[in-house]
Structure 1
Amino acid sequence: MPDATRPAPNRSLQVQRLGLVDYVPTWLLQEELMEATLAIKVQNRQAEATGAAPAPTPNHLLLCEHPHTYTLGKSGKPEHLLLDEAALAAHGASFHRINRGGDITYHGPGQLVGYPILDLDNFRPDIHWYLRTLEEAVIRTLAEYGLNAGRIAGLTGVWLGWEDGAPNPRKICAFGVKCSRWVTLHGFALNVNPDLAYFGHIVPCGITDKAVTSLAQELGSSAAVSVAEVQERLLPHLVELLGASSPAPSPNLPTNKA
């Protein structure tokens, strides 16, 4: 018999397609959504104690691009940013220390950034499962373009040339998350067609011996792939893997499989 003092899992996903937006306002929006969800969870614990009906917690997904931005996670090393303030300004880039895990990374136009603010109690309260789910959604999306992406043991992210003995491992998608009381923050950054030269100004994710790539670079200059197209291809994979309720239908998409 269902426990009336516990909220039924809410697996609906509220998706916001934000386009090109500055980093800080998007970070503040994430924090606002997370705090609102945490407040509901506190109220539900109080309701459980009194036998009152609990309220469902929401699940959000922000999809966007950012202007040229470098972010440094809590465990990152400041020296992995190879630009001083003057050089940052000359490159039109900003720098922010943030509260996710991981080291330094780059965001910029042509990169699909996804911020899931999910209550994992609605899905599966397991951060390792959550990270593998995000990775798998990206891997399946890249497979639609004919790319055999995968994982490298001990290195969070999605890679090409990931197989044992492959001569040129290269990262195409980075991940960095925070989780508080099973509510997630931050997310993933998938290189669709960014200016990869900006990665040359950092030690990406603190890794010195592996390259960074993009979907456009892997497909060749003749393949015009937009961030908007890739995000609509990725979304159904993420919904399926999470076991979430489907958001609004995606538009018809062309076939770009190699």
Structure 2
Amino acid sequence: MNPNINKEVEFRQLGLVDYQEAWDYQERIFKEIVDLKIENRKMEEPAQKITPNYLLFCQHPHVYTLGKSGKPENLLLDEQGLEEKEATYYKINRGGDITYHGPGQIVAYPILDLENFFTDIHKYMRLMEEAVIRTCADYGLNAGRVEGLTGVWLDYEDMKNPRKICALGVKSSRWVTMHGLAFNINTQMEYFKNIIPCGIDDKAVTSLEMELGREVNFAEAEARLKQHLAEVFEMELK
């Protein structure tokens, strides 16, 4: 086994944090890991340094973010409309289209060197989805995937009323990841009416609160998701 493989992951709870602040924070950590990997390539294996991994949890004030492949027209608000909703808007460097973040939503940003785990972005996305699927199962909900689409969905089998409960969007470079997932817990769902979520105009969004008909203990949901992420990635969380 490669002695430089590191499955330890440092968990950091950021709480309610401005989107730009969290993005800048991610970028700093991401760059540090990428730079370290570039330096390691110049050295013989015994001298190479172990690359760290991080898992960030947070919530954001109301914000809409548009991924690299997204269409600006999927935001249905102009600047005045954003002000009225007390929301901000960013074009960002992840994959995917437009999504919403806000209070009551778990936003998870794994900043991992996938060479510590596996080198497969498809598998990475599917394992993040799996952690959310298992968390939904903890609450008695049968969640799953829709072929050809990312994220986690309810009523995904018969597709009579498919509802998205978690969106994914990531960036990776040199097998280092950033951005991640947004899992609706007690989210204010009316904010989704101002976008065409993920550029898909014929499918609804939902939350744990909507599906269960009650407010969910947010800290408990975070703990369950954290546990399942650790399980599926075989992380050693610290």
TM-score of the superposition, structure 1-length normalised? Answer: 0.90
Post-superposition CA distance 1:218-252 (Å, at most 9, x none): 000xx3313322111111111111111133xxxxx
Match of 1:219 among 194, 201, 212: 212
Distance across 2 between alignment mates of 1:127 and 1:245: 20
Equivalent pair of 2:185/2:207 in contact (CA under 8 Å): yes
Matches within 5 A, 1:1-258: 8-48=4-44, 53-163=47-157, 165-220=158-213, 223-247=214-238
Shift of 1:42: 1.1
Residue number in structure 2 paired with 1:256: none
Distance across 2 between alignment mates of 1:166 and 1:90: 35
Give the share of equivalent positions with the same residue, in percent: 58
Change (3 A) 1:17 1:190: same
Q: Which amino acid aligns with 1:37?
A: I
Shift of 1:52: 5.2
Equivalent pair of 2:110/2:179 in contact (CA under 8 Å): yes
Distance across 1 between alignment mates of 2:24 and 2:3: 27
Equivalent pair of 1:110/1:226 in contact (CA under 8 Å): no
Post-superposition CA distance 1:74-124 (Å, at most 9, x none): 000000000000010000000000000000000000100000000000000
The two structures, once aligned, show a CA RMSD in angstroms of 1.1
Equivalent pair of 1:7/1:54 in contact (CA under 8 Å): no
Q: Which blocks of at least 5 consecutive residues in structure 1 are unaligned?
A: 248-258
Q: Which blocks of at least 5 consecutive residues in structure 2 are unaligned?
A: none
State the number of aligned residues: 238
TM-score of the superposition, structure 2-length normalised? Answer: 0.97
Runs (4+) off by over 2 Å: none
